[in-house]
Amino acid sequence: MKKISFLAVLLFIGFTAYAQEFTPQVQRFISVNSDLVAITNVTVIDGTGAPAKTNQTVILNKDRIQEIGEASKIKTPANAKIIDGSGKTIIPGLVMLHEHLFYTKPFENWFSVGQMTFTFPRLYLAGGVTTMRTGGSIQPQTDLNVKKWILEGKMTGPKMDVTGPFIEREGPRVPELGFLGNTDEVAKIVNYWADKGVTSFKVYNNITQEDLKVCVAEAHKRGLKVTGHLCSLTYEEASNIGIDNLEHGFMASSDFAEDKQENICDPFAARTGLAKENLNGDNINALIELLIKNKTAITSTPVVFEPYTGHEVVPGGGLDALAPQVRERIQNGYDSRVNRDEQSINLFNKNLKWLKRFHEKGGLLVAGTDPTGAGRTVAGYANQRTVEIFVEAGFSVTEAIKISTYNGALFLKKEKEIGTVEKGKKADLILIDGNLEQNIKNIRKMEIVFKEGVGFDSQKMFKSVKDQVGLN
């Protein structure tokens, strides 16, 4: 009897619906959940870098893209839910690789961060991110639970690739980080967290070459990747050791620091070296060549560096998301510093030009936000702003989108499933109310973010966490 009922349940699930189960807390953000969806007469920027195509019809069947092509040639199934895409644009769901479930929470002269378990996953999905890699975690166990509960339909957020706790030596940085006593600990950390389900690792400012060698060896043994926000090691050293990815564009490079001492982080010397290096300098060009040769990917995180030049206080428009007390602090900080850092502006622009060169020469450039810094970088809003910055820096709209979608998927080795809007791939895509090539800021007009064919209401998710960032 027991056996029969178990079988019956299986058959029932198999025949009635694909529809993933969602708790009411998640369901309230879902605006489209039909087995068949047809988005008609829409412009598609597919994430491959190909030019935008107008008058397209996209058919979603359960969690997959079933068909895509000219509206006149694609037959819309009679039982499909039809969404008129006139005047709208579809892009792939964003795949961003320097995300965090924590946010800046300074105290007196300390830099510190606090976990944003609830607001950030929801904001990421609202901002179009359907897959993300966290770029280091302060509560890896929380991040792993969030990942699992999102997959189970109990929380609202993107699919996640969770990075382990920062691998770091003690330095004058963040009290939430764990510090290595010696290199032997690295293998233990990597294997412990890999067993727990972590799929990436991140080394930080003060590690030694030996630490990185062990980290890379242990992670690679398990097919996992290592990225780094460096300072004590140069990009050249780390790339030659075999690191897979470098964070923050060239902004964290100490390669140009004068009298660089091995394994020592001197952020001021690093910054001075970057400022001195010419736009077309021999050193930067040699470094670009080396990174491409070694297949070291670079993550650009421009929003966290967006200087005080009269741009928005929270780039992407997320000021309302902040808890009032946090908003006040950040507004005050902004007001007292605006337009006073010429060097930051120059470096910001130069870094983007170097990254464009790296990209054009064939380097793998991926995107991320890093919602930390001065607290002006807020999940979701910052992801949209990242794409805008690429376009402002001279990348074409189609290239900016490819970097923010396909390239991330390629790095994560998920490019066969996600990263582009193509027949057979997962239905991870965003419906935007507007034309991105007319104005890239239309990317802020996201309507529906489809994750595996289920459509989430972007604006509703954004509104639901108003006044909460910094607290939850």
Q: How far apart are CA 21 and CA 154, in angstroms?
A: 8
Give the 3-state secondary structure of residue 184. helix
Measured from the CB atom, the residue of 92 and 371 that comes closer to Zn ion is: 371
Query: Closest distance between Zn ion and the C-beta of residue 136, in Å?
Result: 6
Interacting span for Zn ion (CB under 5 A) from 69-77, 176-184, 367-375, 440-448: 367-375
Query: Closest distance between Zn ion and the C-beta of residue 305, in Å?
Result: 12
Length of the chain: 472
Position closest to Zn ion via CB: 370
Residues 433-466 as b or e (16 or more Cβ within 10 Å = b):
ebbbeeebbbbbbbbbbbbbbbbbbbeebbebbe
Query: Closest distance between Zn ion and the C-beta of residue 370, in Å?
Result: 4
Residue 377 corresponds to which tokens in the numbers above? 């970088």
The number of residues that bind Zn ion (CB under 5 A) is 2
Pairing status of strand 53-61 against strand 64-70: antiparallel
Measured from the CB atom, the residue of 370 and 399 that comes closer to Zn ion is: 370
Pairing status of strand 89-92 against strand 429-432: antiparallel
Query: Closest distance between Zn ion and the C-beta of residue 173, in Å?
Result: 12
Q: Identify the bridge partners of residue 200 per DSSP, sorted by sequence position.
A: 163, 225
Measured from the CB atom, the residue of 228 and 453 that comes closer to Zn ion is: 228
Give the 3-state secondary structure of residue 206. coil
Measured from the CB atom, the residue of 379 and 443 that comes closer to Zn ion is: 379
Segment 310-349, which members bind Zn ion (CB under 5 A)?
Answer: none
Query: Closest distance between Zn ion and the C-beta of residue 247, in Å?
Result: 7
Measured from the CB atom, the residue of 18 and 111 that comes closer to Zn ion is: 111
Measured from the CB atom, the residue of 227 and 296 that comes closer to Zn ion is: 227
Segment 128-147, which members bind Zn ion (CB under 5 A)?
Answer: 135
Measured from the CB atom, the residue of 277 and 370 that comes closer to Zn ion is: 370
Instruction: For residue 363, state whether it binds Zn ion (rule: CB under 5 A).
Output: no
Query: Closest distance between Zn ion and the C-beta of residue 203, in Å?
Result: 12
Q: How far apart are CA 253 and CA 420, in angstroms?
A: 31
Query: Closest distance between Zn ion and the C-beta of residue 466, in Å?
Result: 24
- Do residues 56 and 69 lie in contact, with contact meaning Cβ atoms separated by under 8 Å? yes
Q: How far apart are CA 165 and CA 195, in angstroms?
A: 13
The DSSP line for 301-327 is -HHHH--SSS--SSTTT-GGGB-HHHH
Helix (H) or strand (E) holding 225: strand 225-228
Interacting span for Zn ion (CB under 5 A) from 9-17, 48-56, 365-373, 432-440: 365-373
Interacting span for Zn ion (CB under 5 A) from 36-44, 204-212, 363-371, 454-462: 363-371
Distance, CA of 48 to chain centre? 18
Instruction: For residue 277, state whether it binds Zn ion (rule: CB under 5 A).
Output: no
Query: Closest distance between Zn ion and the C-beta of residue 345, in Å?
Result: 22
Measured from the CB atom, the residue of 85 and 135 that comes closer to Zn ion is: 135
Straight-line distance from the first to the last Cα atom of the chain, in angstroms, rounded to the nearest whole number: 47
Q: Identify the bridge partners of residue 92 per DSSP, sorted by sequence position.
A: 429
Give the 3-state secondary structure of residue 460. helix
Instruction: For residue 370, state whether it binds Zn ion (rule: CB under 5 A).
Output: yes
Interacting span for Zn ion (CB under 5 A) from 127-135, 382-390, 426-434, 446-454: 127-135
Query: Closest distance between Zn ion and the C-beta of residue 33, in Å?
Result: 34
Per CB under 5 A, residues contacting Zn ion are 135, 370
